[in-house]
Amino acid sequence: MRLEKCWFCSSTIYPGHGMMYVRNDAKIFRFCRSKCHKNFKMKRNPRKVKWTKIYRKLHGKELPQDTTFELERKRNRPERYDRNVVEDTVKAMKKISETRVEREAQTLANRMRGKKTQQRREDLAELQQGIHLVKAPTALLEEPSLTLPKEKMKVKVSVEQESKAMES
């Protein structure tokens, strides 16, 4: 029994799933589900299809190169069965997948770094622009407790607030 990779999306194909297409030049394409097969028939390039692993790796969304992947290479020569080797392999597999998960989480964290502050800044801008949809500007003036959240760049915010006060 062998766990194959889907040609299109690179997910693992477990036994009992998927389909294998053999071209006349004897090239084999394995698909994990009909979604991938249909995309293949439409002649789509997996490198351009956003939800595939290939696209994600190519566009830096996921861990591209790592030693943990090299350990999972396909080996065609069958190994002589040795109980100790099998035991160690199983233990190693667990450790490797843990490491890989950690590294992938790290890559994600790196990619999303600075996102929170940027999001906050964008939200603040939206709030300032659109607060009149929620509360009338005069109400903001009358009730001092209702203030827009202050940003670290205090100068910018206070000037805008002042101009709003002056307008109304």
Residue number with CB closer to another protein (23 or 152):
23
Among 7, 2, 50, CA closest to 19: 7
Residue number with CB closer to another protein (2 or 154):
2
d(CA 98, CA 96): 5
Under rule CB under 8 A, how many of the chain's residues touch another protein?
15
CB of 29 to another protein, least distance (A): 10
- Residue 100 is a binding residue for another protein (CB under 8 A): no
Q: Please report, to the nearest 10 degrees, the dihedral formed by the alpha carbons of residues 113, 116, 119, 120 taken in order.
A: -140
Among 5, 19, 99, 164, contact with another protein (rule: CB under 8 A): 19
Span interacting with another protein, options 13-21, 119-127, 132-140, 154-162, rule CB under 8 A: 13-21
Cβ–Cβ under 8 Å, residues 13 and 30? yes
- Residue 24 is a binding residue for another protein (CB under 8 A): yes
- Residue 3 is a binding residue for another protein (CB under 8 A): no
Span interacting with another protein, options 14-22, 66-74, 93-101, 156-164, rule CB under 8 A: 14-22
Residues 25-84 that bind another protein (CB under 8 A): 25-26, 28, 30
Please give the residue ranges that form the binding site for another protein (CB under 8 A): 1, 15-26, 28, 30
